[in-house]
Amino acid sequence: MVDIAFSFSAASLATSSGLQNLYDLLIIRGALKSLLLNSRTSARKGMKQHIGIALFAPKSWRLQMPWSAPKGFWCSLSGAMDPAPPSPPRPAAGLRVPGVVAKPAARPELPRETVAFLGLGALGTPMATNLLAAGFPLTVHNRNRQREEPLAALGARRAATPWEAATGSSLLCLCLSDDAAVRAVLLEGPDSASGGLAPGSLVIDFSTIAPASSEELAARLRERGVSYLDAPVTGGTEGAKAGTLSVLVGGSERDLKRARPLLEVVGARVSHFGPVGAGQRVKAVNQVLVAGSYVAVAEALALGQRFGLPMEQVCEALMDGAAGSWALRHRSANMLAGRFPLGFRLALHHKDLQIALEAAAATGLELPLSARVAAIEAELMAAGHGDEDVSALARWFAPQLEPPRRTRWLGAGRSGAAPGHLSAQGPASAAAARRGARAWLRPGPRGGPAGGAGFRGDRPRPQR
């Protein structure tokens, strides 16, 4: 057995030296990884689990209790190693390995960009909180000004308008609900953020919007000497709080290099896919996958319940097999219990799915399964469930909500949408929702130059 132990002072985490403490943790992780590479696979797996706890516990503790801290924090890890242990790694500051004297490590100067963050919703608030904890000077603004207060209590500066937030900030982060909100906050009106941005500033847009909108925004900002990255994220509120989001980036390599220190605070994986708009296209692919996986879990659970199976046991048995998925592992319990605490709003996923359907139609591709999920989401939104988690798709299969067996043709939801594209605001969708329609929809005739699919309910839905 080899015991690995380290200690570090947690008292300074509430001060401006938080970045140096973070740097210590990164060095510690690297030294521990060197040891693990020489261990057996079984020992490596067991030790990684404990190391993850040791490295992330201080961070989560710091965010929960920024007002006080013990003078020190001690963690010890142990695991079985190979009989012939490797030569000791070069230790870093704060790391104590038996028989090795640690030497202080030089700490490079980390970037100190001034950051403004606009949009403090379910994702934006924890993302901004993590930036504060990492030591970034932060200014925040939200349309509902009360949402600024918790961040102000942690040290953020509040701004009355987007213009005021952007003034003096070298990086502007957006995490807003849709295309119209991004355009209004960034470009429209005397208080728009672009009016306060100096040439050489960089906009990092975490919002999920249409690829064409990202390209338009980038072009208009370029005229002002301002750069733009589209950087939609995936991972839900859990990932936003833990700083483990996946960030999907479109833009130039130079701008990404500048933004990377910030992006690596909010996300565990930062992936670059090409020019502006590429990140939004990858996010569209992601939302199609989410649509299929969530509705598949909801449908499978409904089937198992009709069979009278012990569904908790069924889910546990299937999680690690071919049917396993993030949705099954993290959302099946809530679906079975009929509880849908917010991870990602169903209404926002519906909006994102509309973006994917329109982008697919522009290429001549039909997405019949995604269009079907969009129809179900539109009905649930009309019934008042739009602010629940996407897992509320399971409500559609609830036995007490028996629908009519037929419904009329459901056409495009809004101007410019692909045929068969349902919108909660569209007249056909609203009429169907008012009737409580749950049609058994199937692909209809192709329509429009893009070759999109229409959907009609001329097949009776089987009785339950």
CATH number at residue 413: 1.10.1040.10
Residue 33 falls in the annotated catalytic set: no
Q: Is residue 55 part of a domain?
A: yes
User: Is 19 within a domain?
Assistant: yes
CB within 8 Å of 397: residues ≥ 6 apart: 298, 299, 301, 302
DSSP, residue by residue, 367-387: -HHHHHHHHHHHHHHHTT-TT
Establish if 171 belongs to a structural domain: yes
Q: Are residues 35 and 130 in the same domain?
A: no
End-of-domain residue from the set 250, 276, 302 = 276
pLDDT of residue 234: 95
* Whole-number pLDDT of residue 189: 85
Instruction: Give the contacts of 437 (CB within 8 A, at least 6 positions apart).
Output: 379, 403, 404, 407, 457
Give the domain extent around 153: 115-276
- Residue 255 falls inside a structural domain: yes
Q: Count up the domains in the chain and report the number.
A: 3
Question: Per residue in 90-119, is it b (16+ CB within 10 Å) or e — as a string?
Answer: ebbbbbebeeeeeeeeeeeeeeebebbbbb
Give yes or no: residues 24 and 91 share one domain.
Answer: yes
269 and 345 assigned to the same domain: no
Do 298 and 427 have their domain in common?
Answer: yes
Q: Are 15 and 125 found together in one domain?
A: no
- Of the residues 59, 241, 283, 351, only one is catalytic, namely 283
> What pLDDT, on a 0 to 100 scale, did the predictor assign at position 400?
52
Residue 272 and residue 224 in one domain: yes
* In a shared domain, residues 86 and 36: yes
Same domain, 155 and 267: yes
Of 331, 422, 343, 421, nearest to 381 by C-alpha is 422
CATH of the domain at 168: 3.40.50.720
CA distance 333 to 337: 6
381 and 400 co-located in one domain: yes
pLDDT per residue rounded down to tens, the chain (464 residues): 434 444 343 333 333 344 344 444 443 444 444 433 343 333 333 433 333 333 333 333 333 333 333 333 334 333 333 344 444 444 444 333 343 333 333 434 445 699 999 999 999 999 999 999 999 999 999 999 999 999 999 999 999 999 999 999 999 999 999 999 999 999 998 899 999 999 999 999 999 999 999 999 999 999 999 999 999 999 999 999 999 999 999 999 999 999 999 999 999 999 999 999 999 999 999 999 999 999 999 999 999 999 999 999 999 999 999 999 999 999 999 999 999 988 889 999 999 999 999 999 999 999 999 999 999 999 999 999 999 999 999 999 975 544 433 333 333 333 333 333 333 333 334 333 333 333 333 333 333 333 333 322 333 333 43
Distance CA(162)–CA(185), nearest Å, equals 6
What share of the chain has pLDDT > 70, as a percent? 62
